[in-house]
Amino acid sequence: MFDVVIIGSGPAGLTAAIYGRRAGLSVLVLEKAPMSGGQLINTYEVDNYPGLQGMSGFDMGMKFREHAESMEAEFAEGEVLEIRLHGETKEVVTKNHVYEARAIIIAAGATHSRLDVPGEEELRGRGVSYCATCDGAFFRDKITAVAGGGDVAVEDAIFLSRFCKKVYLIHRRDQLRAAEMLQQKLFALSNVEILWDSTVEKISGLEQVEHISIRNKQTGEESELKVDGVFIAVGIRPQSESYTSLVEMDKMGYLVAGEDCRTNVEGIFAAGDIRTKDLRQVVTAVADGANAVNSVQKYFLSK
Ligand code: NAP
């Protein structure tokens, strides 16, 4: 029996592990894959984490993990199938194990959304990608398109511009959602062309991506672009499927919890991108990790 089982090893989960160990709690971090960092590890460069400006997301994820390991948090691999409640004891069920805990912090994060257009699924891994830092290098001197207008889309376009011959950024509105500083960097790049008010309607190609069909929302005009790759960066969705019947969620599937990370179920806490909140950043995720453990301690004291 652990004091706390933490589901997820992104910034929120790893911070919770550090704070949990500092509080003298026994801590198990459950991770889906043997690679910590969540979405962070796919980020080329993190520009807004105080004191670590410009560090790669991968290096930051590894640093967080080393810190948690140095505090002797335990780690195990496994995808959570369900959580069972037995009064004050909770069970976290994975395919091969059942872990018992007095409290659970769900920090399972979020994953990329899909465009849901023809060709997206069929050509996934054959030119369709959701991770520019993972796959961008395959497109050296090629033509790529990025769909989206948020921080991730703009970061991806900037990253791809370093080695692609040409990058199209396709955004459905006439204004980007991304941070101003990122926009300025993007606008300065000569090999990036922004297609405003446009949506990707279809991705086509025989073996690999060859074309995308674009529709201009203002004029209704349809056109085809010849591209070798499409990077889809149209937002994120919470990885909360395993908890649907357990805790209250909002209509997007985020676990409803305030800054204290308490859900509507006693002893179950939500931290990081999976929680309802306004701003999803590394700094807000690590803050959640600390707050969640603070709430766990209060919960234990109340028992
Ligand atoms: P996001 O901020 O939600 O942006 C998603 C973008 O995709 C928006 O521009 C949106 O358009 C567009 N979009 C959504 N659905 C679409 C569809 N079906 N078709 C076409 N376009 C669509 O998501 P994100 O960029 O993945 O970022 C996720 C979170 O991580 C955000 O909170 C972001 O701030 C944070 N983040 C921060 C940093 C950083 O601080 N360095 C880096 C990466 C991510 P509209 O603008 O029209 O809604």
Q: Which pLDDT belongs to residue 47?
A: 84
Give me the residues of the chain with pLDDT under 50, please. Answer: none
pTM of the full predicted structure? 0.90
CA of 112 to the centre of ligand 1 (A): 10
Q: Which pLDDT belongs to residue 238?
A: 97
Q: Residue 78 corresponds to which tokens in the numbers above?
A: 């496994």
CA-nearest residue, atom 24 of ligand 1: 235
Q: Which pLDDT belongs to residue 155?
A: 95
Element of type H or E holding 202: strand 198-204
> What is the pairing mode between strands 98-106 and 89-94?
antiparallel
Q: Residue 190 corresponds to which tokens in the numbers above?
A: 């000569």
CA of 164 to the centre of ligand 1 (A): 22
Q: Which pLDDT belongs to residue 30?
A: 97
How many residues does the structure list for the chain? 303
CA-nearest residue, atom 15 of ligand 1: 234
DSSP assignment of 67-123 equals HHHHTT-EEEE--EEEEEEETTEEEEEESS-EEEEEEEEE---EEEPP---TTTTTT
Q: How far apart are the first and last CA of the chain?
A: 17
β-bridge partners, 167? 144, 192
Cβ-proximal residues to 178 (8 Å cutoff; 6+ apart), any chain: 149, 150, 151, 153, 154, 155, 186
Element of type H or E holding 301: helix 282-302
Angle between helices 282-302 and 11-22 (to 10 degrees): 40
CA of 155 to the centre of ligand 1 (A): 11
Contact indicator for 271, 238 with CB cutoff of 8 Å: no
Express each pLDDT in 73-117 by its tens digit.
Answer: 999 999 999 999 998 999 999 999 999 999 999 999 999 999 999
CA-nearest residue, atom 46 of ligand 1: 177
CA atoms of 124 and 142, how far apart (whole Å): 17
* 231-262 burial code (b ≥16 CB/10 A, e <16): bbbbebebbbebbeebbebeeeebbebeeebb
Answer yes or no: is the C-beta of 177 below 6 A from any ligand 1 atom.
yes
φ/ψ of residue 295, rounded to 5: -70, -35
